[in-house]
Amino acid sequence: MPKFIIESDIDVRTFEKPFRQRQQIGEFLSINDVYHYIEKYIADTTDVFTYFSRHFLCPRDEIENLIGTDKPVAINIVLGQFEDTLYVSKIN
């Protein structure tokens, strides 16, 4: 059964040198679980940083086309602090 991996590439603006290395933040068995997790992940950031956060999440029907393409499925930004780009890959 395939697994879907969510990876985060975060650029923390308070650091002189960004990490530039993706970190695995989730592993799921279905696309629906992946999408729900990303929605929750973004909502949690918005709850904490209310007025200073912006985000983009691809439409649900487009996520399958973005898996494994090295194109982001979501971008989560807290202005002046960090930019978090999320990718999804698939392993069998």
Q: Is the Cβ–Cβ distance between 77 and 8 less than 8 Å?
A: no
Q: What is the mean pLDDT of residues 70-92?
A: 90
Helix (H) or strand (E) holding 9: strand 3-12
Q: Where are the domains of the chain?
A: 3-91
% the chain with pLDDT above 90: 55
Tell me the per-residue pLDDT of 11-22, one tens digit each, with 9 for 90 and over. 887 666 666 678
Helix (H) or strand (E) holding 66: helix 63-66
pLDDT of 51: 74
90 against 46, higher pLDDT: 90
pLDDT of 60: 94
pLDDT of 19: 60
User: pTM value?
Assistant: 0.86
